[in-house]
Structure 1
């Protein structure tokens, strides 16, 4: 978070849950507001947690190089606290600013969700190459849109209308096209070896 000019300092009395003791300087009024905001939203100020030399904590230096402050911060939600490995200032990045870039290292453990057993319906759309099926499909769609106009004018519940449309269209696709036969990679490889 930048542009608050919030100095959080090294004293974390009253803010033990949201910041560490590795800040720089004294907390100013904006720093207090910032700490209150983080406390209210269950957030942690990352730059105050990890011990570093001051050169790796200072985010702003005055043009005359006499004043240095830690006024830019990275915040994260408290429940992800263990994911953050480090927060430090990168002085090498040339961004044409009097502020230095802050970098964080984090380690995420992503949950692996089991594959669902729901079978996706695939329709045999190759049957649309047949002129008879094409004609039936076009007539079916034309009737469907004229019926839709009547339903839309009278229907107020859009979710109910969508469910009705979905069911009718799936039935129509089943009837006109049929389902595509499932092919496996091993089956297609076997056919290649046989031919």
Structure 2
């Protein structure tokens, strides 16, 4: 079993910093044997919408609102590495769908 705990740059960070984060994360993931159970968790600052078109093999239709750029980056990383976004597979009460919701 491999557990990767991470904290992604905030949404306001520039794209170069985000690219560096995801490149580093990818370099860590590829070192984990695929036969192992690989768990990636943390604060990815990612939002996922209900529409999972193009990502139906890695996540369900139980997101909230609109997918942001960081959600797109994270979904692409998961698709590339055949990781499943577990929190979006099953329905949850609205209060359990996010740890924090922006007032705007």
Q: Which one of 39, 51, 54 corresponds to residue 79 of structure 2?
A: 39
- SS for the counterpart of 2:84 is strand
Greater percentage in helix: 1
Q: Which one of 37, 59, 74 corresponds to residue 19 of structure 1?
A: 59
Structure 1 moving runs of 4+ over 4 Å: none
- Kindly provide the CA deviation profile for residues 8-41 of structure 1, in whole angstroms up to 9, marking residues without a partner as x: 2111000010000001111111111100100111
Q: Which one of 44, 48, 54 corresponds to residue 8 of structure 1?
A: 48
TM-score normalized by the length of structure 1: 0.31
RMSD value, Cα:
1.5
Q: Distance in 2 between matches of 1:27 and 1:61?
A: 13
Shift of 1:57: 1.1
- Equivalent residue number for residue 93 of structure 2: 53
Closer, same or farther: CA 3–53 of 1 in aligned 2, 3 Å:
closer
Q: Which runs of 5+ in 2 are unaligned?
A: 1-40
Q: Higher RCO, 1 or 2 (CA under 8 Å, sep at least 6)?
A: 2
Q: Distance in 2 between matches of 1:22 and 1:40?
A: 21
Q: Distance in 2 between matches of 1:25 and 1:31?
A: 11
TM-score normalized by the length of structure 2: 0.55
